[in-house]
Amino acid sequence: MTCRSKFRKKERRLHNDARRFARLLVSEIKLYNEQKVSDGREAGDLYDRLREAIDRSREMYDKRVQPPVAEKFDYFHYELVSSLAEGDDVKLGASYPGSKVHA
């Protein structure tokens, strides 16, 4: 195994770990806040209703995810949009700060 392939394998593992952790955090938000999630999806203000839980989870995500991964892709934002907001980022509301990674 070459040095480059070892690096790619390690980086791929770090990305997979970040993705799984983001999915877990967002799943917990959904599990413990079912009514707020339902109401927020309907009203388009998920972030306002769940700000404390989202910000706390974001902080945990940022502390755990390695910088080389965090600089390339924001898995937490992706999970918020795809899972919490059902693929519609507008449901997060105007006050949601958005992704930490910009193209």
pLDDT at 83: 98
Q: What's the pLDDT tens digit per position in 17-60? A: 999 999 999 999 999 999 999 999 999 999 999 999 999 999 99
pLDDT at 8: 87
Task: Give the Cα separation of 37 and 43 in Å (integer).
Answer: 10
pLDDT at 103: 67
Instruction: For the chain, give the longest Cα–Cα distance.
Output: 53
Other C-beta atoms lying within 10 Å of the C-beta of residue 70:
18
Task: Say what percent of the chain tops pLDDT 90.
Answer: 86
Q: With a cut of 90, say whether residue 2 has pLDDT above it.
A: no
Output DSSP code: residue 27: H
Confidence bin at 7 (pLDDT 50/70/90) = low
